[in-house]
Amino acid sequence: MSFFKRIWRDFKESPIKQIAKWQDCRFLWLLMTFVSLALVIVAHSLFQHYVYMAPCEQCVYIRFAFFVMFFGGVIAAIKPSNVVLKLIGYVLGFYGIIKGLMFSVKLNAIHKAVHSDDPFGVQGCSAEPTFPFGLPLDAWFPDWFKPTGDCGYDNPIVPEGVELSSLQQWLVDFYSEGWYLVPKYHFMNMAQACGLAYGVCLIALGAMFVCWVITAVRKS
């Protein structure tokens, strides 16, 4: 029997037990670290630097939340069978997800407001961010955490005198009306896409945690 067939057989027989077994392995924790870091790097390297989309205050908060998840995954992946390390991973993972969802919801509300007929009264966008625990991340890592754009406006703004490559020009034109999953139809803005990503992570991490607790209770 192949490896994947055996896993599928075990999952069908006892999904809770199988998921609990998975969260004791490094793979799922490393997957969380990879996804979290990959999304931040894409936002920073591709959209911020290559396509010239300046990050806003809520955007850098969203990055912070993904980094919290990243560190949670790294700590848990050191030894997932260690209860203390795993609990730290869960705490950081859930904290990052919940904060990220809150920031995404707020950014989405701002996005809707600034694109409506009455954009006045929009709050939650500052050039001086306040990170949890008073961390001065914008001073330590300004290129990553210092807001340089306006919330709700994620159009590319190419600096004067910059010569774009053909690919850059195509991307700038592609996102000329702002970042959307499908720009042509204005389908799912950046805040909504981030919220979806956090939602999927919440379901996955929540399933891992619940199955672990149920399995531990049954053994006791």
Residue 105 placed within a domain = yes
Q: What is the pLDDT of residue 126?
A: 81
CATH code for the domain in which residue 213 is found:
1.20.1550.10
Of 9, 10, 24, the C-alpha closest to 212 is 24
Percentage of the chain modeled with pLDDT above 90: 69
What is the average per-residue pLDDT within 17-42? 91
Residue 1 placed within a domain = no
Residue 194 placed within a domain = yes
Residue 33 placed within a domain = yes
- Residues 6 or more apart whose CB falls under 8 angstroms from that of 19 comprise 11, 207, 208, 211
Residue 157 placed within a domain = no
Residue 191 placed within a domain = yes
- Stated pTM of the model: 0.90
70 lies in which domain range?
A: 15-150+164-219
Diameter of the chain by CA atoms? 68
pLDDT in tens, 124-169: 678 889 998 889 999 999 999 999 998 888 899 999 989 999 999 9
Residue 127 placed within a domain = yes
Three-state DSSP state, 189: strand
Number of domains in the chain: 1
Of 194, 64, 49, the C-alpha closest to 129 is 64
